[in-house]
Amino acid sequence: MIGFGPVTGDDTLSAGSDLAEAAARLFDALHRADASPKAAIAIAAIPMEGVGIAINDRLARAAVR
């Protein structure tokens, strides 16, 4: 689980709900999650505003692989 804001997880994109921080941390968090022994990756909801739109677009593209 990759958290965001108040939603915690094994990793977090931004504990303070900062979308710019989340965008900067996204790829590293996904790589760490992919390298973990867990069977799936879940990510807390990211607001569909500002750079959050781009984050959600990237996550949607990654989900189909």
pLDDT tens sequence across 27-39: 999 999 999 999 9
Amino acid present at 15: A
Return d(Cα 5, Cα 62) in angstroms, integer. Answer: 21
Q: Where are the domains of the chain?
A: 2-63
Q: 3-class DSSP state for residue 42? A: coil
- Average pLDDT score, the chain: 95
Q: Look at residue 63 in the predicted model and tell me its pLDDT.
A: 87
Portion of the chain with pLDDT greater than 70, in percent: 98
Q: How many CB atoms lie within 10 A of CB 4?
A: 26
pLDDT value at residue 65: 64
% of the chain beyond a pLDDT of 90: 94
Which of 44, 55, 45 minimizes the C-alpha distance to 19?
55
pLDDT mean over 55-63: 93
Write the single-letter amino acid at 38: K
Q: Which residues contact 63 (CB under 8 A, 6 or more apart)?
A: none
